[in-house]
Amino acid sequence: EPEVTQTPSHQVTQMGQEVILRCVPISNHLYFYWYRQILGQKVEFLVSFYNNEISEKSEIFDDQFSVERPDGSNFTLKIRSTKLEDSAMYFCASNDRGYEKLFFGSGTQLSVL
């Protein structure tokens, strides 16, 4: 079965640094998402992306965050100036019709020191 892939699996960064988390959604999917999960807490929605633009975003997704689909396969999440509270597992997800089963990647564990 096709899978969403994410790189890196772990990222350690210093507070104030920029990070880019990378995702390759399933190839025929049209809707892309970023979620995050702080240790022991629920999965929180950050942003959705469709037709090369953001379709929805949460309050968490402030101007420190951005997403991009630089080519036909990658989908990236950039955090411009990381804060300690950005430490979390970041999951990319995709699906082909929105409003349907989400296929999650294996996540990137971001640690901000």
Partner 1 sequence: GENVEQHPSTLSVQEGDSAVIKCTYSDSASNYFPWYKQELGKRPQLIIDIRSNVGEKKDQRIAVTLNKTAKHFSLHITETQPEDSAVYFCAASARGSYIPTFGRGTSLIVHP
Q: Which one, 14 or 40, has the nearer CB to partner 1?
A: 40
Position 75 contacts partner 1 (CB under 8 A) = no
Position 102 contacts partner 1 (CB under 8 A) = yes
DSSP collapsed to 3 states, 19-51: EEEEEECCCCCCEEEEEEECCCCCEEEEEEEEC
Shortest distance, position 82 Cβ to partner 1, whole Å: 23
How many angstroms separate the first and last alpha carbons of the chain?
Answer: 36
Contact 3, 26 (CB under 8 A): yes
Position 106 contacts partner 1 (CB under 8 A) = yes
Position 107 contacts partner 1 (CB under 8 A) = yes
Site string for partner 1, 13-52 (x = CB under 8 A): ------------------x-x-------xxxxx--x-x--
Q: What separation in angstroms does the CA of 60 have from each of 21, 46, 78, 85, 88?
A: 16, 6, 13, 11, 13
Could you list the residues that contact partner 1 (CB under 8 A)? 31, 33, 41-45, 48, 50, 55-56, 91, 98-102, 104-107
